[in-house]
Amino acid sequence: QNFVYDMELSPGNTRDMLAMTGVITSTTKKHSLITLLQDMEYIHGQLFERTVESGCGSVTCLPGALTMLRFSAFRRMAKYYFADKAEQCDDLFDYGKCHLGEDRWLTHLFMIGAKKRFQIQMCTSAFCKTEAVQTYQSLIKQRRRWFLGFITNEVCM
Quote the pLDDT of residue 87. 62
User: Is residue 87, in this structure, part of any structural domain at all?
Assistant: yes
Q: Is the entire prediction scored with pTM above 0.75?
A: yes
User: Is residue 154, in this structure, part of any structural domain at all?
Assistant: no
User: Is residue 76, in this structure, part of any structural domain at all?
Assistant: yes
Number of domains in the chain: 1
pLDDT band at residue 143 using 50, 70 and 90 as cut-offs: confident
Quote the pLDDT of residue 138. 92
Q: Which domain holds residue 87?
A: 2-149
pLDDT band at residue 102 using 50, 70 and 90 as cut-offs: confident
User: Is residue 156, in this structure, part of any structural domain at all?
Assistant: no
Q: Which long-range contacts (CB under 8 A, 24 or more apart) does 12-18 make?
A: 16/115, 16/116, 16/119, 17/70, 17/119, 17/120, 17/121, 18/69, 18/70, 18/73, 18/110, 18/113, 18/114, 18/119, 18/120
User: Is residue 13, in this structure, part of any structural domain at all?
Assistant: yes
Which range, of 65-69, 70-74, 94-98, averages the lowest pLDDT? Answer: 94-98
Q: Is the pLDDT of residue 8 over 80?
A: no
User: Is residue 37, in this structure, part of any structural domain at all?
Assistant: yes
User: Is residue 127, in this structure, part of any structural domain at all?
Assistant: yes
